[in-house]
Structure 1
Amino acid sequence: MLVNRIYNYLIIVSLCLITNSYGYPSDTELIPLPRDKYLDKCKGAWLGQMIGVTFGDKYEFRYNGIPIFEPLQEWKSEYLKNAFPQDDLYVEMTFLEALENNGLNITFEDAGNFFANSKYPLWHANRAGRDNLKKGINPPFSGHPDYNHHADDSDFQIESDLFGIICPGLPKESQKLGRIFGSIMNYGDGLYGGFFIAGMYASAFFENDIEKVILSGLECIPPESRYRKCIEDTIDAWRKYPDNWFEAWKIIENKWQDDVDCLPGIPVNIDAKINGAYVVMGLLYGNGDMQKTIEIATRCGQDTDCNASSSAGILGCIKGFSNIDDYYKQSLPNLQNEKFLFTNYSWNDLISACEKLTKEIITQAGGKIEKDTFLIPLQKPSPPSTLEQWTNKQDILKPPIPKEKLSQWTPNWRVKSCKFSPEVGVFTEGNDIYLSISQPQDENIILPSIIESYGNIPQNAQKLSIEARTKPNEEMILRVKADYKTISEQKIVSNTWTKIDIDISGFPKDTTMLTIESFSTHDKKSGTIHLKPIKFE
C-alpha cells in the first residue's frame, strides 16, 4: 500500500508539472477555453448524469452490502425521459436557480432560505437540513452533526456536480459555492464528497485522463480526512486488481462498510465515502466506456442511481457531448423543452443558465470573456485550510454489536445486519462464549442477520466449523456463502448446539469473503440464532 501511495504522490506531482506548462498560471496568464468546447462538455456532463441515473434507478438500495452479479437491464434511449423527475437532478437545479436569483455572492442565509422553501420530498441529510432550516437552525449549523445525524451522508455529493460544471478549471470557486450550499445539509466527509465530485468536473474541462481527473478531485479534500483515505484505498485496490472490480470491491467493503452510519444495524449505507468509492470504481473500471462505467458503478450496489449518475456525468464531461455515442442521445431532441420536475428548467434552459453563471464565475475569478473564448485563470486544486471530521460519530451511531465486542467472540468478523435488542451481543454460558444475533427490519421488510469475514482463512484450513442453536420453539435457516455464492444451507431447529462442517478447501485464503446469514423459516417473523466461536480446521 505504501508503494501505491508513493505512486499516487508522483502522479499528482507529474500532473502539476504537466499542467504548469500551460497553467496553473501566473497572476496575468489566462488559459483559453473555446465557448463551443465549454458547451460541449457542459452538455456532456448533464447528459451523462441523465444516462447514469436512469440506468441505476432500478437497483437503488436493492443491493446493499452485496454486489450485483446478474445481468443488468439494457438501457434504452427512451429511458432518458425518466431523468426529468429524478431528485438527483432537480435538487441541483434548486441551487442553480438560487445562484441566478441571488448572484455569486450568495450568503448561507440566502441559500438556506431558498432551500427551505422547496416543495419536493427529501430524505436523509437533505431532509434533516431542511427541517433544521424550518426550525431556525441556519447553515452551516443545519448540516453540522450537533444538529444533523446525517452529516456524513452522500446528499451533497449527489448534488455537487453543478459546482464543477459551472467552474471549469476553477476548483477553488467550486469549493466556495460548495461550502455555501453543502453546509445546508452536510459537514466534514459529507461536504468533502461534494468538493471531490465538483473538483473532478472542474478538471475534466482541461484533462482527458480519467486517473488524473480523479487525483485532481482528490487534491480538493484534506489528506487527513476519512473520505480521502477511502478514495485512496479504492485507487490502490484498482491498481492491485486492474481487471477485476469485484476483488477491489471486497477490499473497500471490508474496510469501509463499518455500520457506523445513519442506519446502523442494516446493510443500507448512504455514507458519502463508500458511495464515492463506487463512483471512482465506475470511472476506473469503465476505462472511458460509458456503458461499462454505469454498469460497474451500479454493480457496486447501495445508491446505484446516484453513483452511476456522478460517474457518467464526469465521464460525459471528459468526453464531451459530441463524443458520446448517438445511441444515448436519440430521444433528447424530443425532450429539450420538457421541464425537470419542481424546476423552471428545460434542457435548453439548463445549458443556457450554466453558461451564464460560468461566464460570471470566470470573470469574478480574474478571467475574461472574449468573443467566443473563455480566458480562465486555472486554479491549482487544494484542500480547505482546516480539517472537519465528525469526531464523536461512533458514540452517536453505534452499531448493535460494536467491533471490539465482537472480537471477544471471534476476531476478524464483523456484524453486517442485526437488530438492536438486549438479546443480541456476546454472552457467556458456563465455560462457553457465544454470539447472539437477530434479524433486523428495514421499513416493512425483515432482513437476514449477517456476519462477514474477509481474507482470514488460515493457509492450511480445509473446513469451516460452525456450532449453532436457536431460541426455544424457533426454526432458523443458516446459510454460508463464499464470495456471495451459497456453499451451505441448513435448518437449525433445536436449542441444543448443532455442529456444521463446510468444505472451504477450494477457496483462496486471503481474498475470500465469507458470509454467514441466518433467518427465520417464517417470513414475517424475526428470528435469533446463537453461534459459538467460528473455527477453521
Structure 2
Amino acid sequence: MYRFVVAAIYASIFIASADTVTLSKEKYLDKCKGAWAGQMIGVCYGAPYEFRSNAKPITDPLREWTSDRIAGAIDQDDCYVELTFLKAIEDHGLGVTYEQAGKAFANTGYPLWHANHYGRENCRHGIMPPMSGHPMYNRHADDIDFQIEADLFGILCPGLPRESNRLCDVFGRIMNYGDGLYGGMFVAGMYTAAYFEDNDVRKVVEAGLACIPKESLYHQCISDVIEWHAESPDDWLAAWNKIEKKWQDDVDCAPGDPFNIDAKLNGAYIVMGLLYGNGDFAKTVEIATRCGQDADCNPSNAAGVLGCMKGFNAIEESFTGGIAAIADRKFSHTGYSFNTLLPACQRVTEDIVRRAGGTVSADAYSFAAQSPQPPATLEQWTDQKEMLAVPVAQQELNWWDPNWTLLSCGRDMQPGVRGSALGRDNVLVLHPVSESEPAAIVASFHVPAGGRPQLMIDTASDRRGDYLLKVSINNEPKIEKIVGTKGEWTTVTFDLMPYTNKDIDVRVENCANGWSYEAAYFAAIKVAN
C-alpha cells in the first residue's frame, strides 16, 4: 500500500502542486543557513567513524561533540565538491551544459575517490558527462559520490523538485548513473520539501522518494526502510538488521569486502537517522553515524535535511556555536566561505524561481510549487557484478598508459590508478592475487636503433612492506628483484641493446614476498635511451 501513496503525501506538503506558495526571504535564508550548518555538523560528528564499522552497527559510546570540531568541515569533500557546482552555475547560468559542468570538475585540484575520481579522470581525458559517469567508463557508477554532494541542488530549489532534478541530471552524470544518480535526486528532493515542512520528517523523506523511479532498486530500498521503521519505531537496530540482511548484498565496488560505499545502502542510513531521530538533531546525527559504513557522509546528509527543515535558529547552539569562528574561512580549494556561500545560493535561487515562472519581491518569493517528476527512463546497472569481477578495468589502466594490458590482479590494498600516491602523480597500484599467483601486466614495444635503449621501471613498495618484481622479455626471465623501498621511488633498468630495432613483449609481475603489504606502485614503465 505504501508505495502508491508517496506522490499524494508529497502534494500534501504544498496542499496542491499547482498552488502558488510564498516563501519569505527571511525564512529562506534561515533554512538555507540551517542546511549548510547541518551538513557541516553532520560530517564532523561522524568523521571519526568513517568506514570504521562496516557491516556492523556502532554500539559503543560515541565521542562527545564539542563545537570546535566544526572546523573540520573546511576540508571535507562533503562540502567543497558541491561548491564547485555552485561556482559553475554562477559562471555559466542555469543553462549550464554537461560539458561546462564536466570541465569545471576536471579543473579542480582537491583529492577525490571512487566515482568522483573516475568521473574527473574521464573528463580530463575527454570523456564528458553523461558518459563520464556511465558504467562503461566508471566502475563506481552506483557509489555514494553524487549523493553526498547533491544537497546543493535541493538547497537552491525550494519547493521546486523538477528544477533540482534537472540540475542533478547535469551534474550527477559527471560521476554517477542509475541508482548512483537517483541517490542525489532523492537527497535534493528532500531539501526542496524541507523548505515547506518544519516537523514531519517522514513527509520530507517521502517527498524525496517521489523524485526517483519507483521501479528502481534505490526506491525499493528506501521504501523498505520506511516500512521497517513503521514496524519497529522504537528499535533502530531491528530495522538496521533487516537492511543488512536484504541490501548488504556485496554487489558493489568492493566485492568480498564488508566495506560498502553503495548509494542505496548508505541512503538507507540517511533515512534511518531522519526517521529514528524524529526531528531531534542530536539523535539524528547519532543514529545515522551508528549505522556505520560511510558514517560521516550519511549524518551530513541527514543533518543537512533536518537543518533545512528546522532552520539555523532552531539548531542547538551546542552544535552551531563553533561556526562563527570559521565563517570567513574558505572551504578547501574554493572561493566560498560559510558567509559568502549563503548570498551566492540566494542569488541562484532567485534565478531559479524566475525560471520556474515565479516572482521575487523585496521580502519574499512566490511561485507555483512543483510536484515531483521522476526521470522518464529507468536506468539500472544490471551487469554490475560481472563488470566488477575484474579488479582494475582496462579503461582505468588506459589512463595510466594505454600500452599496457592487465592479465591478473588481486583485490587487496585498493589496486587501480591513483591520481597521486607516494608523492607522484598518475600511479598504478597492483597487488598479487595470492601468495602464489602474481599480479601481471603486459605490453609490446619497438626498441629504437641508436643510443643505448633501456627498459626503465619507476616503482616503489608500500611503506609497510615489500614485493618481488619479476620481468620477462619475449617469455624469457630477465629481472627478479625484491623492491623494499618503504614508499620511496626507485628506477629499475634493463639493457635492451640486444633487442635494438626489434619488437619485444614485456611482462611485469608483482609477486608476493611474505604476504604482508605486497602492493607494487608504478609511476611509469617505458623503453627509453
Shorter-normalised TM-score: what interval? 0.7 to 0.9
Question: How far is the alpha carbon of 1:247 from its aligned partner?
Answer: 1.0
User: Is contact 1:265–1:420 with CA below 8 Å preserved after alignment?
Assistant: no
Work out the percentage of aligned pairs sharing the same amino acid: 54
Cα distance in structure 1, aligned partners of 2:145 and 2:159? 24
Counterpart residue number, 2:2: 7
Counterparts of 1:76 and 1:205 in 2: how far apart (Å)?
28
Partner of 1:204: 194
d(CA) in 1 for partners of 2:103, 2:314: 39
The aligned residue for residue 24 of structure 1 is 17
The 1:91/1:376 distance shift into structure 2, 3 A limit, reads same
Choose which of 253, 257, 260 in structure 1 pairs with 2:251: 260
Write the distance in 2 (CA, Å) between the matches of 1:203 and 1:445.
49
Q: Any unmatched runs of 5+ in structure 2?
A: 392-411, 413-431, 438-461, 466-513, 519-529
Q: Of 370, 374, 378, which residue of structure 2 is paired with 1:387?
A: 378
Q: 1:94 aligns with which of 73, 84, 97?
A: 84
Q: 1:114 to 1:20 in 2, by over 3 A?
A: closer
Distance in 2, matches of 1:257 and 1:303, equals 13
> 389-398 vs 377-386, which deviates more?
389-398
1:106 aligns with 2:99: no
What residue is the counterpart of 2:139 in the other structure? 149
CA distance in 1, matches of 2:340, 2:92: 18
- Tell me by how many angstroms 1:134 deviates: 1.3
Paired with 1:115 and 1:156, the residues of 2 have a C-alpha distance of 13
Question: In 2, are the aligned partners of 1:259 and 1:399 still within 8 Å (CA)?
Answer: no
User: Aligned equivalents of 1:155 and 1:195: distance in 2?
Assistant: 12
Q: Distance in 2 between matches of 1:371 and 1:20?
A: 23
> Do 1:316 and 1:324's aligned partners in 2 also have CA atoms closer than 8 Å?
yes
Work out the CA distance in 2 between the residues paired with 1:393 and 1:331. 43
Q: Secondary structure at the match of 1:167?
A: coil
**Partner Cα distance (2:236, 2:169) in 1:** 33
Q: In 2 relative to 1, CA 422–172 (structure 1 residues): closer, same or farther, beyond 3 Å?
A: farther
1:399 Cα deviation after fit: 9.9
1:409 maps to none
Distance 1:240 1:399 in 2: 40
Q: Distance in 2 between matches of 1:345 and 1:351?
A: 9
Query: 2:153 aligned with 1:163, yes or no?
Result: yes
Residues 366-423 of structure 1 deviation map (CA, whole Å, 9 limit, x = unaligned) = 11101101112210012111101112112212499xxxxxxxxxxxxxxxx9x97699
In structure 2, what is the Cα distance between the partners aligned to 1:423 and 1:113? 44
Q: Is the CA contact (8 Å cut-off) linking 1:203 and 1:213 kept in structure 2?
A: yes
How far does residue 220 in structure 1 lie from its aligned partner after superposition? 0.4
The aligned counterpart of 2:126 is: 136
| AA in 1 matched with 2:178 | G
* Aligned residue in 2 for 1:301: 292
2:244 maps to a residue whose letter is E
1:80 aligns with 2:70: yes
Measure the CA separation in 2 of the matches of 1:220 and 1:422: 49
TM-score (norm: length of structure 2): 0.74
CA distance in 2, matches of 1:361, 1:421: 55
Superposed displacement of residue 339, structure 1: 0.9
- Corresponding letter in the other structure for 1:327: S
TM-score (norm 1): 0.73
SS of 2:366's equivalent in the other structure is strand
In structure 2, relative to structure 1, the CA distance for the partners of 1:174 and 1:145 (3 Å cut) is same
1:90 partner letter: Y
1:214 positional shift: 0.3
Amino acid corresponding to residue 43 of structure 1 in structure 2: K
Give me the whole-angstrom Cα distance separating, in 2, the residues matched to 1:12 and 1:384.
14
Distance in 1 of aligned mates of 2:165 and 2:297: 21
Query: Is residue 126 from structure 1 mapped to residue 116 from structure 2 by the alignment?
Result: yes
CA shift at 1:316, angstroms? 0.3
> Aligned to 1:261, what secondary structure does the other structure show?
coil
- RMSD between aligned residues: 2.4
Matches within 5 A, 1:206-225: 206-208=196-198, 209-225=200-216
